Structure 1
Amino acid sequence: MKSAADLVTDDLLRRYDVAGPRYTSYPTADRFVEAFGPEDYARALEQRRSAAAAFAQPLSLYVHVPFCESLCYYCACNKIITKHHDKASEYLRYLGREVDLHTQRIGLGQSVSQLHLGGGTPTFLNDDELGALMAMLKRNFSFAPGGEYSIEVDPRTIDVGRLDTLARLGFNRLSFGVQDFDPAVQKAVHRVQPAEQVFALVAAARERGFESINVDLIYGLPQQSPESFDRTLAQVVELRPDRIALYAYAHLPERFKPQRRIATVELPSGGAKISMLSRSMHRFMDAGYVYVGMDHFAVPEDALAVAKRQGRLHRNFQGYSTQPDCDLIALGVSSIGRIGATYSQNAKTLEEYYDALDHGQFPTARGLALSRDDLVRRSVIMALMCQGHVQFESVELSYLMDFKSYFAAEIAALQTQAEQGLVVVDEAGIQVTEKGWFFVRAVAMVFDRYLQTDRTRAKFSKII
């Protein structure tokens, strides 16, 4: 019996080997403007508080911990490389100030159903610092039972004892950064971590009852080949994490300084990358994983796979989620949040972040207030990305518009994808096919008004 991955030909993979947004938001973060500042963000929070009297929208928290002890050459995240752990205590004090500014606007005890600690390396913080951070958050917010509370983990920074601490603090989901198990690849990207170490940590995490364990992989790194990545895939299947995130490496040394340490001649060819992606899809789905969407796979019993089956997938700045569409308060340097019909991003340097808080201001550096057109297109793009279909009538009722007239050009542009078997367009709506789900970003891009006027896509990662 053929798997769904057999529907994806190398020809289609090559055809859609193009750059495009990941649509963790629409409009995407590159559209944020500096005209949106601290006062606009404060106003959005106050509007949330006013609206909460009639409708208490769920709330998520994201906390960015920027510190890392060593540099991974492929990394494009906002991070600070340091071995001086005293920097963490100062950073935590400023996080506390930022939380205080929020509670002044929205009140204490707002219910939180989702928390994610990202970085950088959140486990750069020691046990006492992580405990202090979680205690501060729990003093100011009410963490709902059964919520998703996750943390990104660098396997090189923790042991079994630290897993006990994370469980005690209330984390129920872990994401391990693996990237590749091959020693030559690890050396080339300056991230050496033996496979045995990861296997031991995952086994210990399972013994401690963590509800979901994710592993991040990257294909397209220096020294990789389809054959070497096959060995990593075999090890990952043996490890059997609940979720797998499979990302394509985007080599943009002109934008990300660490990547200049990677020798371009050591990177696999475009054809080799396509082969790695194709083999990965087949290997994971043959092993029983569900293709959730884009670069995510999950075992059938994982909450993400269940949400996919039941049509309850959502999407936020951390990717696919089972949590309802909700406001996101983002704390820490460079973090991106969403309140109502606004997006905002904090200052990208510690100096600017600290300076704003020293002056009693939100560290908002830029953002966006969404227009009506943004909201309409966001609803369509997120429906495609999460449910794989759009019903014209539901959009028309929500926004009092005629879908086929408003999106006449986009429906015409979908004809090529319909001929390729990626979508079905009829009188009632748009349906992404089983094959089209592998290329859902390309389908969503048709409705992106900003891409229609700006064809410069080099700033985005490849869509497959």
Structure 2
Amino acid sequence: MRDYKAFVKYSKAGPRYTSYPTAVEFNKDFKYEEYVEILKKQNKALSLYFHLPFCRSACYFCGCNVIYTAKEESKERYLNYLFKELDILSTILDTKREVVQMHFGGGTPTFFSAKQLESLILKIKSVFANFSKDAEISCEIDPRFLNEEQADVLTKNGFNRISFGVQDFNEKVQKEIHRIQPFGVTQNAVNMVRDRGIKSVNMDLIYGLPFQTLETFKQTLEQALLINPDRLAIFNYAHVPWLKKNMRKFDENTLPSPDIKLQILEYCETFLTKNGYKMIGMDHFAKEEDELFKALENGTLHRNFQGYTTKGGADLIGVGLTSIGEGQNHYAQNFKDMPSYEAAIDKGILPFERGIKLSYDDELRKTVIMELMANFRLDIKRIEKEFKIDFKEYFEEELKSLEDYKSFIDLDENYIRVNETGALLIRNIAMCFDAYMKNISEDKKVFSKTV
């Protein structure tokens, strides 16, 4: 076990780089008319994201955009607006393009009934009829909200990847984060989809939660492997109480220190490697037969708002409240509040609120940062050829910043390679190439800590 006390100095506020530029830079200078024109001209394959934002109650660790409700009419009303948004999209997009990926995120997608889920799926397929034979169709599921009818609807309609939110199996941690979820509940939910032919099951865990220790997390990992997921996403808890009021319920003295969190992450890598998994990017682990592992091996792994994916290069269309879309040179986000979202749709326009059109420099830096985040290496010569630059000259200052991490990388004329220890600090390393971080002062609370 490494001495992680020395790593504490690297614990600074920084992005997770699900996008570059990050959502902090999205603004209203990118106009609706520009966005619509971009959508009209797109011709790549499609990736579709649907945000289903409702939950019955709050999980105190959650950083998602969520609406808490028990009202059935709220869900029905929201579905009605999703259908209208799809109808508007169908008048702008070429919906005959091939769909290679679709994802239901939340909130809790399975807080919607089987009947409601099926009505949404049928509506989507009536608009986007050209799903590829090997399309990745996935859904996030809270194991506490899954029944046989919902599992039937998902599998019958082509869903082939399921991601289960677990976070931690320790009862004390579960009580503190307001998410009581016995092991048997999770096991039964996984069995439910396995029995219906789902071959790819992901489990989400979080380290850095109140009362977690290395020993308690070891037990959680051992229990997780009893369920035998194909992938694990093990996230560093993002403590941002200035943004999420639920997080203020935590006594910060109960949160594990940065060095303990790094010990947990290192143990995850060691333990899971011994048990047939490979670390993918900064927070994912996959079995060697998984396509994520194969993409990492051949350097084709990509990162977007859904995490790590093999479906890079597709145009991402975000549908629903707060959803974010992405193209080669833009990001676009829908309204975050329901009245504004509904008002736009009632006017017959997309519920677009803000975004950003990428400059040449943005596109270059996005390519550099995302390749480092996804593959832990950067092909310098490929970047020079693609963007017609001299890498050392263009990134002179950035390469000086990398000196702080010289023990974590190998740098030569052709490649930047991040070593095994450096993988634990990949956010810090990527930040060296982020032009916008220079404009964010240390005392401005924007991002969670990298360690």
Fold match, TM over 0.5? yes
Q: CA deviation at 1:40?
A: 2.3
1:141-200 per-residue CA deviation (whole Å, 9 max, x = no partner) reads 121111110000011111344322210121100010001111121111111111011112
Where does the alignment leave 5 or more consecutive residues of structure 1 unmatched? Answer: 1-5
Aligned to 1:21: 15
Aligned to 1:73: 60
Q: Distance in 1 between matches of 2:305 and 2:239?
A: 22
Q: Give yes or no for contact 1:151–1:174 (8 Å, CA) kept in 2.
A: yes
Match of 1:177 among 159, 165, 181: 165
Match of 1:443 among 420, 429, 444: 429
Closer, same or farther in 2 for the Cα pair 1:450/1:125, shift >3 Å? same
Q: Does 1:263 align with 2:251?
A: yes
Q: Distance in 2 between matches of 1:160 and 1:99?
A: 28
Q: Distance in 2 between matches of 1:127 and 1:207?
A: 18
Q: CA deviation at 1:367?
A: 0.3
Q: Distance in 1 between matches of 2:381 and 2:241?
A: 45
- Amino acid corresponding to residue 125 of structure 1 in structure 2: F
Q: Distance in 2 between matches of 1:269 and 1:393?
A: 40
Q: Give yes or no for contact 1:160–1:201 (8 Å, CA) kept in 2.
A: no
Q: Does 1:139 align with 2:126?
A: yes
Closer, same or farther in 2 for the Cα pair 1:264/1:425, shift >3 Å? closer
- Amino acid corresponding to residue 379 of structure 1 in structure 2: T
Q: Distance in 1 between matches of 2:97 and 2:109?
A: 24
Aligned to 2:277: 289
**Partner-residue secondary structure (3-state), 2:98:** strand
Q: CA deviation at 1:13?
A: 4.1
Where does the alignment leave 5 or more consecutive residues of structure 2 unmatched? Answer: none
Q: CA deviation at 1:342?
A: 0.9
Closer, same or farther in 2 for the Cα pair 1:327/1:284, shift >3 Å? same
Match of 1:343 among 331, 334, 337: 331
Q: Give yes or no for contact 2:332–2:354 (8 Å, CA) kept in 1.
A: yes
- Amino acid corresponding to residue 299 of structure 2 in structure 1: G
Match of 2:415 among 406, 429, 445: 429
Aligned to 1:274: 262
Map 1:123-202 → 2, pairs under 5 A: 123-141=110-128, 142-202=130-190
Q: How many residues align?
A: 449
Q: Does 1:212 align with 2:229?
A: no
Q: Distance in 2 between matches of 1:331 and 1:365?
A: 13
1:420-463 per-residue CA deviation (whole Å, 9 max, x = no partner) reads 1x222112232223433332222211111111332437422333
- Amino acid corresponding to residue 216 of structure 1 in structure 2: D
- Amino acid corresponding to residue 143 of structure 2 in structure 1: P
Map 1:324-339 → 2, pairs under 5 A: 324-339=312-327
Q: CA deviation at 1:255?
A: 1.4
**Partner-residue secondary structure (3-state), 2:95:** coil
- Amino acid corresponding to residue 32 of structure 2 in structure 1: P
Q: CA deviation at 1:300?
A: 1.1
Q: CA deviation at 1:415?
A: 2.5
**Partner-residue secondary structure (3-state), 1:27:** coil
- Amino acid corresponding to residue 35 of structure 2 in structure 1: Y
1:278-334 per-residue CA deviation (whole Å, 9 max, x = no partner) reads 332322222221000111111111111121112120111111101132210000000
Q: Does 1:101 align with 2:88?
A: yes
Closer, same or farther in 2 for the Cα pair 1:243/1:15, shift >3 Å? farther
Q: Distance in 2 between matches of 1:392 and 1:34?
A: 34
Aligned to 1:3: none
Q: Does 1:58 align with 2:45?
A: yes
CA RMSD of superposed structures (Å): 1.8
**Partner-residue secondary structure (3-state), 2:91:** helix
- Amino acid corresponding to residue 416 of structure 1 in structure 2: D
Which is further off, 247-256 or 142-151? 247-256
Aligned to 1:40: 34
Q: Distance in 1 between matches of 2:7 and 2:247?
A: 25
1:337-359 per-residue CA deviation (whole Å, 9 max, x = no partner) reads 11331101100011110001111
Aligned to 2:450: 463
Q: Does 1:89 align with 2:76?
A: yes
- Amino acid corresponding to residue 148 of structure 1 in structure 2: E
Q: Distance in 2 between matches of 1:460 and 1:89?
A: 34
Structure 1 vs Structure 2: percent identity of aligned residues? 42
Q: Distance in 2 between matches of 1:450 and 1:196?
A: 46
Aligned to 2:286: 298
Q: CA deviation at 1:233?
A: 1.5
Q: Give yes or no for contact 1:181–1:195 (8 Å, CA) kept in 2.
A: yes
Q: CA deviation at 1:132?
A: 0.7
Q: Distance in 2 between matches of 1:66 and 1:218?
A: 20
Q: Distance in 2 between matches of 1:338 and 1:132?
A: 26
Q: Give yes or no for contact 1:58–1:324 (8 Å, CA) kept in 2.
A: no
Closer, same or farther in 2 for the Cα pair 1:280/1:128, shift >3 Å? same
Q: Distance in 1 between matches of 2:71 and 2:26?
A: 33
Q: Does 1:413 align with 2:407?
A: no
Which is further off, 388-397 or 128-137? 388-397
Closer, same or farther in 2 for the Cα pair 1:306/1:375, shift >3 Å? same
TM-score by length of 1: 0.92
Q: Does 1:110 align with 2:104?
A: no
- Amino acid corresponding to residue 211 of structure 2 in structure 1: Q
Q: CA deviation at 1:227?
A: 2.2
